[in-house]
Structure 1
Amino acid sequence: MRRRKTLSAEDRRLWAGVARTAVPLKDKVLPSYPEEAEAPPQRPAPAPFDPRPNLAPTSPGRHSEPRALKVQPSIERPTKRKISKGRIAIDARIDLHDMTQDSAHAALSNFLRQAQMMGMRHVLVITGRGKPGGARGILKRMVPFWFASAEFRMLVSAFENADRHHGGEGALYVRVRKR
Structure 2
Amino acid sequence: MRRRRGLTEEERELWSRVAASAQAMHAARPELPAALTPPPKEPVVAPPSLARAFRVGEKAAPKPGHDLAAPIGAHLAALPVVMDRKAHRNMLRGKLEPDAKIDLHGMTLAQAHPELIHFVLGAQDRGHRLVLIITGKGKPGRDDGPIPQRTGVLRHQVPQWLRLPPLGAVVMQVTEAHLKHGGAGAYYVYLRRLR
- TM-score, normalised to structure 2, is 0.50
Find the counterpart in structure 1 of residue 154 from structure 2: 139
Q: How many residues align?
A: 109
Find the counterpart in structure 2 of residue 93 from structure 1: 101
**Contact 1:73/1:159 (<8 A) preserved:** no
How many percent of aligned residue pairs carry the same amino acid?
40
Find the counterpart in structure 1 of residue 168 from structure 2: 153
Q: C-alpha distance in 1, partners of 2:97/2:128?
A: 10
- Tell me by how many angstroms 1:81 deviates: 3.6
**SS state of the match for residue 97, structure 2?**
coil
**Contact 1:162/1:173 (<8 A) preserved:** yes
Unaligned residue ranges in structure 2 (runs of 5+):
1-37, 39-78, 143-149
Q: C-alpha distance in 2, partners of 1:158/1:77?
A: 11
Unaligned residue ranges in structure 1 (runs of 5+):
2-71
**SS state of the match for residue 178, structure 1?**
coil
Give the superposed CA RMSD. 2.4
Say yes or no: does 1:177 pair with 2:192: yes
Task: Within 5 Å, give how 1:34-73 maps onto structure 2.
Answer: none
Structure number with larger C-alpha Rg: 2
- TM-score, normalised to structure 1, is 0.54
Given the superposition, is the C-alpha separation of residues 148 and 73 from structure 1 closer, same or farther in structure 2, using an over 3 Å criterion? farther
- For 1:28-85, what per-residue CA distance to the aligned partner results, in whole angstroms no more than 9, with x for missing partners? xxxxxxxxxxxxxxxxxxxxxxxxxxxxxxxxxxxxxxxxxxxx66566632442355
- For 1:112-132, what per-residue CA distance to the aligned partner results, in whole angstroms no more than 9, with x for missing partners? 111000000001000110125
- Tell me by how many angstroms 1:103 deviates: 1.1
AA aligned opposite 1:93: K
- Tell me by how many angstroms 1:165 deviates: 1.3
4+ long deviations beyond 4 Å: 72-77, 84-87, 132-135
- Tell me by how many angstroms 1:142 deviates: 0.3
